[in-house]
Amino acid sequence: MTALSDDDLTLEPTSGSDEFIGFSIVVSDERVGTVALRHEDRHTVSIRWNVGDDLSIAIRALRLAVEHAFGDLGMTRIEARVPVDRTTDIRAASIAGLRREGIVRGPGADPDRVLLARLADDPPAFSRDGFIAILNAGLPTKRVISQGLLRDEQGRVLLCELTYKQEWDLPGGVVEVGEAPALGLVRELQEELGITVEVLDLITVNWLPAWRGWDDACIFLFDLGVVDSSIADAMELQATEIKSVQWCDAATVRERAAAAAIELLDAVEVGGLGTYREAPKAAE
């Protein structure tokens, strides 16, 4: 193997085999760390490195190793699994062009690891497309839920009795990636209740803190207007998620609904609800 260089930084070969290819990271004649490639299959290598907390050196060393894997070894995929608490290493891998693909869970005391990878035909990391792809893969995402406030002629609110929790909740569900919240609500009610609704005004966006193992989320609460209560009799319920639907007065809501729904509906009844609000953390 030959050395790989980037100005004053050099990857000097230390070992080579059918499984591992190792390098010392040398900067201005001083050894500052190591980087190694491991063959996982005919087309994939994994990469691991140790350079402490020097972000700049890690980025430069990783770029050289990635170029070597694709250009000299003919690999089509390079991946890294980095413990979630090694934030500097995760950042270095991202800047070097590896995209975040998910979390690999660790059993017992083993740490969870961030899985990052780069493909040979990914756009260059510093091109517009490459930069956007890396950011999209690594930036936080927020769960969005769309729910509908549907009332009958008596002013009662429609709640769903669910198969996966004891508390009743407003109709709706999680919005899919790339789906508008209002369209997500229409889709959810078609799938789960067998009805087509007209989404009216947005009542509020309600941020929910994490609760009972669920991550935090933003609820878009839409007004679905007033309908005849008999509409419930014709609903075709998705049996895997919905046990029944119920028209509920205020007392029934407080008795049966989920804590977040109770708090939200109370705020709706009081009036003067802002277009954005933050729900208090519910008791576990």
| Tens-digit pLDDT string for the chain (284 aa) | 788 998 899 999 997 777 899 999 999 989 999 999 999 999 999 999 999 889 999 999 999 999 999 999 999 999 999 999 999 999 999 999 999 999 999 999 999 999 999 999 999 988 999 999 998 898 888 899 999 999 999 999 999 999 988 999 999 999 998 999 999 999 999 999 999 999 999 999 999 998 777 889 999 999 999 999 999 999 999 999 999 999 999 999 999 998 889 999 999 999 888 999 998 887 76
- The single residue listed with the structure tokens 């769960």 is 143
Question: So what's the pLDDT on residue 281?
Answer: 81
Quick check: 95 and 88 in contact, CB under 8 A?
Answer: no
| Alpha carbon distance 200, 64 (integer Å) | 55
Q: Pairing relation of β-strands 113-119 and 20-27?
A: unpaired
Q: Which domains does the chain have, with CATH numbers?
A: 4-138 (3.40.630.30), 143-278 (3.90.79.10)
Q: How many Cβ atoms are within 10 Å of 112's Cβ, its own excluded?
A: 12
> Please, is 39 exposed, middle or buried when counting C-beta atoms within 10 Å of its C-beta (0-12, 13-18, 19+)?
middle
Residue 284 has a pLDDT of 67
